[in-house]
Amino acid sequence: MKFSDLATFFEKLEKTASRLSLIDILSDLFKQTDKEEIDKIIYLLQGRIAPFFAPVEIGMADKTIADAIARAFDETREDVLKQYSKMGDIGLVAQQLSNKQQATSNKISVEGVFEILRKIADTKGAGTVEKRIVFLSDLLRKVDPVSAKHLVRVPLGKTRLGIGDPTVLDGLALAILGDRSKRKLLEKAYNETSDLGLIGATLLKEGLEKVQKLTVTVGRPIRSELCERLPNPLKVFEKMGDEIHATPKYDGFRVQIHKNGEDITMFSRNLENMSHMFPELIEGARKQIKAKTAILDTEALAYQPDSEEFLPFQETTKRRRKHDIDEVAKTLPLKAFVFDILYVDGKSLIDTPLHERVKILEKILHKGDILLPAPGQILTDPKDLQIMLDDSISKGLEGVVVKRIDSLYEAGGRNFNWVKLKRHSAGELHDTIDCVILGYIWGKGKRTAFGAGALLVGVYDSEKDEFVTVSKIGTGLTDDEWRSIKLKTKNLVRTTKPARTNSLIAPSVWVEPSIVIEVLADEITRSPLHTAGKNGIKDQRSKIKDQNEQGYALRFPRLVNFRDKDKKAEDATTVEELIKMFEQQGKQ
Ligand code: ATP
């Protein structure tokens, strides 16, 4: 396929907000795609040249891209940057300047472009910046204006196409399997490999049967299993059986550790490769994992073993950084509490029951002071679970995670095989809600100085792959928090509603769904103003038909924390979770 043809599809996708139409366009694209290029096209759709988890970066930020555009179209860097700050999108600048130059060439193929982007990423050593600028500016001269627009967005990872992973899977299912509902047949492979390009290529080259055989491998992150919520120990035993496995819930961040000989790779919950961030965990994994290959599921946090002191999440999260890593590793060393093993010596364990996995883990993990086994207990009495919960909370932990002892590891699943029990105080929900910022509503008075009066926030509808509103948050944010929100959303503000945003409220400006905040509310209520759960998933308590005309909303919401470092917009609380929390209210 010629890159200009792909850019025409990108252009159509960018102009489309309806999800069904996005799927149709993707399906048309995939039908015209050759089996040798499908993986590359899927990565480019995501603003990548490799799967998300691969540490392959093109390594060009705004300013070097501006240099390349300037070089390609005989402009000055200052002029390009000036136009960029006016238009807010480097793609539009490239398109406009390319138009002026009447660049009309459109012969280069997708593979050709991809190869050059790979070369840019692989460039190392002296003169890297200059070489990258030359590669990109040469490429820009070889493409037409629309291609230039979409091309320069790739290094920034901002395609502006509004496509999430489920939509790509829907598009593949429709194009190749004839029906988007067949996405379900691709999901297991997705959950176990996290690589949409691999799935697309396998589907086109070898068929559905081979896709369904794709499974866990060291080096490719497995999508994490997550927890449901229950209000108290009694309900846990009612729902999960007579015997349960309970571990403390640590409040750090999830780290999936992959060992392949001396090679250690680590992934975050949202599948980012974080290996370079935690040298001490790499050291610990090399020393303490008694197997050639293994995958461990862990929670990493700053912990002082002598005083048994767990540092709060805000402290731990300071370790997720790109600079001064060795320095900070010394002042804030991390421990990883290991609670599961998913692979050992060439064998996947995800279809092995939890009680066996725990035994294997005990054998594999050497004693040491970096990887610490999460103390698990098999309990049969709600009273003992209450004691463990109180004990965890008194130690400053978040609560307890309870697991069904015979459950298999359900990659990407959130169901009653794993349940979290947390502390809570009167007048609050049992748990916080992770919301995505969807817009600002300008305020009056002092707040306007910071550019916001209230935030329009939403949750994720995973079925429809869209973001739906649940609340406006105005009070309770400090001036510093407003400043920080403004800074974080600087390049995400839009004047028209972004794709995949479903809202009845029109804010003063929209914000591209990307920033996740943790919100505490007193209650979940029904509201006709909000789109979460509206006309969608049925509220099981509702006897009244009209109730499904109502959405779900948060009462007295307040910001607790930013979660943008460890959660993508799609990792926010889902509508299904919100409805379950609604149903559990008042059942404490
Ligand atoms: P929260 O916001 O409450 O941390 P979450 O949305 O990040 O929750 P949940 O599915 O609600 O994710 O809770 C599971 C998370 O708890 C895991 O992703 C992991 O990071 C963390 N965790 C801490 N201790 C454990 C444990 N012993 N077993 C499993 N997960 C644990």
282-309 average pLDDT score: 90
Question: Is the minimum distance from the CB of 249 to ligand 1 under 6 angstroms?
Answer: yes
Set 40, 142, 149, 249: catalytic member: 249
Task: Give dist(CA 388, CA 236) in Å, integer.
Answer: 13
On whether residue 338 sits in a domain, the answer given is: yes
**347 lies in the same domain as 367:** yes
Contacts of 126 (CB under 8 A, 6+ apart): none
Residue 105 in domain? yes
pLDDT computed for residue 119 by the predictor = 95
Q: With 50 as the cut, is the pLDDT of residue 163 above it?
A: yes
Lowest-confidence range among 30-44, 150-164, 567-581? 150-164
Positive or negative CA dihedral for 520, 267, 419, 291? negative
In this structure, the answer to whether residues 524 and 384 fall within a common structural domain is: no
Q: Does 234 share its domain with 361? A: yes
Same domain, 528 and 390: no
> Is residue 401 within 6 Å of ligand 1 at its C-beta?
yes
541 has a pLDDT exceeding 70: no
The residue from 126, 156, 186 where one domain ends is: 156
Distance CA(110)–CA(107), nearest Å, equals 10
**CATH classification of the domain holding 308:** 3.30.470.30
**Which residue has the CA at smallest separation from atom 19 of ligand 1?**
254
Is the distance from CB of 343 to CB of 216 less than 8 angstroms?
yes
The CA distances from residue 330 to 268, 319, 324, in Å, are 21, 11, 10
Q: Cα separation of 146 and 104, whole Å?
A: 10
* Count of structural domains, the chain: 3
Structural domain span for residue 579 = 433-587
- Note the pLDDT tens digit of each residue in 260-284: 999 999 999 988 899 998 999 999 9
Say yes or no: CB of residue 520 within 6 Å of ligand 1: no
Q: Both 439 and 552 in a single domain?
A: yes
Instruction: Using the mean position of ligand 1's atoms as its centre, give its distance from the Cα of residue 249 in Å.
Output: 7
The pLDDT of 185-212, averaged and rounded, is 97
Note whether 408 and 439 are same-domain residues: no
Average pLDDT over residues 332-351: 95
Whether 300 maps to a domain, the answer reads yes
454 CA distance to ligand 1 middle (Å): 29
Pairwise CA distance, residues 586 & 584, whole Å = 6
Neighbouring C-alpha atoms within 13 Å toward the C-beta of 529: 13
Distance 82 CA to ligand 1 centre (A): 44
pTM of the model as a whole = 0.82
Q: How many C-alpha atoms does 58 have within 13 Å on its Cβ side?
A: 29
pLDDT of res. 243: 96
Q: What pLDDT sits at residue 527?
A: 84
Domain boundary residue, one of 377, 398, 422: 422
Q: Is the pLDDT of residue 357 over 50?
A: yes
Same domain, 322 and 345: yes
For residues 150 and 128, what is the distance between their CA atoms, to the nearest angstrom?
23
Q: Are residues 67 and 138 in the same domain?
A: yes
The alpha carbon of residue 143 and the mean position of all alpha carbons in its chain are separated, in whole angstroms, by 32
- Which residue did the predictor score with more confidence, 514 or 162? 514
Question: Is position 502 within any domain?
Answer: yes
Is residue 478 domain-shared with residue 546, that is, in the same domain?
Answer: yes
The structure tokens listed for 117 are 């982007």
Chain segment 448-500, per-residue pLDDT in tens:
555 557 889 999 999 889 999 999 987 667 778 888 888 888 889 898 899 89
The CATH number of whichever domain residue 106 belongs to comes to 1.10.3260.10
pLDDT recorded at residue 488:
85
Comparing 431 with 547, the larger pLDDT belongs to 431
Query: How much is the pLDDT for 544?
Result: 46
Of 358, 387, 422, at which residue does a domain stop?
422
Q: In terms of domains, do 110 and 251 share one?
A: no
Chain centroid to Cα 380, Å, comes to: 36
Contacts 24+ apart (CB under 8 A), 489-497: 489/437, 489/440, 489/514, 489/515, 491/88, 491/158, 493/88, 493/440, 497/17
- Contacts with 404 (C-beta within 8 Å, 6 or more apart), sequence order: 240, 241, 244, 245, 354, 416, 417, 418
Residue at 27 is within a domain: no
Residue 103 lies inside a defined structural domain of this protein: yes
List the CATH number of the domain containing 555: 2.40.50.140
532 lines ligand 1 (CB under 6 A): no
For residue 495, what pLDDT is reported?
Answer: 87
The mean predicted confidence, pLDDT, of the chain is 89
- In a shared domain, residues 386 and 444: no
Residues 416 and 482 in one domain: no
| Domain-embedded: residue 35 | no
Does 221 reside within a domain? Answer: no
Q: Supply the pLDDT for residue 62.
A: 87
